[in-house]
Amino acid sequence: MSAKVLLVDDDVELIEMLRDYLQRDGFAVDAVHDGASAVTAALSGDYAIAVLDVMMPGMSGIEVLRQIRAKSVIPVLMLTALGDDAERVDGLELGADDYVPKPCTPRELAARIRAILRRTAGAESDVENGAAPAVVSVGDLVLWPEQRRAAWAEQPLDLTCTEFNLLEVLARHAGHAVSKDKLSEQGLGRALSRFDRSIDVHVSSIRHKLAPLADGRSRIQTVFRKGYQLVRE
């Protein structure tokens, strides 16, 4: 497997070293150093995942993400400053699939990339193994995991890769509460760390994309101290 990774950071030397590491780890890697060319490259469709630094001069990583998300659901991993929560939540709300605090070890970065790529490709192998049904449907919601397609009342839903994964986990357990730990492991492909609000931000994005229940409540209910639940009508 030689997935193509797009690295975006203005720090040329760092990117060279990360490219060196990731190539040795079995990825094909391209690097760009500014926002404008990052948007072009990410939208070219050549890449399986984009790794995006938030702090860039000129066009910031957040702006790059906004422009990518306007047209594409390519998985995006953000490199954010450690401890800068606002930046992180902004990124996740705009549809980043996950984030890695910078500075990070290249090993952690590779592991995160692999986790996201596995989720993207994961469903297909599940279906091949016959472990999961080809179609998951809960009321008006229909998910086709192998095509990574979702529809609501016959209208296609535009979900990012991570949102799809989380919704799929919730749909498979519709009517039951799913803990955040489980959502993180199955949806994000990593264990939930303390004070990590990624799941909440992603779930909130999904809520905006699903129509609410007849009584105005959200279809995805927060279950106190347990996690989230997709309401079965």
Partner 1 sequence: MGRLFWKFFAFFWLAQLTSVIGLGVTFWLRNEMQQRIPDAVDASPPAAFHSAAAAATLRHGGIDALRSLLEESRQEAGLLSGPPVFAIDETGSELLGRALSPEIVAVLDSLAADAEKHSGVEAVVAGGHRYLLFVPPHRRPDGPAADAPPGGPGPQLGGTPQPRPPRGGGLPLMPLGAGALVSLVFAALLAWYVARPIRNLRSAFEAAADGRLEQRLAPTMGRRRDELADLGRDFDRMASRLKSLMDSQRRLLHDVSHELRSPLARLQAAIGLVRQQPERIDDFVARLERESGRMDTLVSELLTLSRLEAGMAGKLDESVDLAELLGDVVDDARFEAAARGCEVEFSADQGASVRGNAELLHRAIENIVRNAVKHTPPGSRVEIDLAPGSEQVIVRVADAGPGVADAELKSIFVPFFRGSSAEANNSPDGHGLGLAISQRVVEAHQGTISAANRPSGGLCVTVSLPLSAA
**Smallest gap, in angstroms, from Cβ of residue 27 to partner 1?**
13
Q: Considering only residues 135-154, where is the footprint of partner 1 by CB under 8 A?
A: none
Binding mask 10-29 for partner 1 (x = CB under 8 A): xxxxx--xx-xx--xx----
Which member of 58, 133, 175, 212 binds partner 1 (CB under 8 A)?
58
CB-based burial, 103-119: b 16+ in 10 Å, e otherwise: eeebeebbbbbbbbbeb
Look at the alpha carbons of 33, 36, 40, 42 in this order and tell me if their dihedral is positive or negative. Answer: positive
How many residues touch partner 1 (CB under 8 A)? 26
Q: How many CA atoms lie within 13 A of 92 on its CB side?
A: 24
33 binds partner 1 (CB under 8 A): yes
Which member of 45, 57, 130, 216 binds partner 1 (CB under 8 A)?
57
Q: Which stretch binds partner 1 (CB under 8 A): 51-59, 111-119, 136-144, 225-233?
A: 51-59
**Smallest gap, in angstroms, from Cβ of residue 224 to partner 1?**
35
55 binds partner 1 (CB under 8 A): yes
H/E run at residue 179: strand 177-179
Which member of 40, 44, 105, 125 binds partner 1 (CB under 8 A)?
105
Q: Which residues pair with 80 in a beta bridge?
A: 101
Which member of 3, 6, 41, 56 binds partner 1 (CB under 8 A)?
56
104 binds partner 1 (CB under 8 A): yes
Sheet holding 136-138, edge to edge: 136-138, 141-144, 149-152, 155-156
Q: Which residues pair with 141 in a beta bridge?
A: 138, 152
Which member of 106, 139, 144, 179 binds partner 1 (CB under 8 A)?
106
Quote the tokens at residue 227. Answer: 């996690």
Q: Is 45 exposed, middle or buried (0-12, 13-18, 19+ CB in 10 A)?
A: exposed
Question: What 8-state DSSP symbol labels residue 111?
Answer: H
Which member of 28, 81, 192, 231 binds partner 1 (CB under 8 A)?
81
Contact set with partner 1 (CB under 8 A):
10-14, 17-18, 20-21, 24-25, 33-35, 55-58, 81-82, 102-107
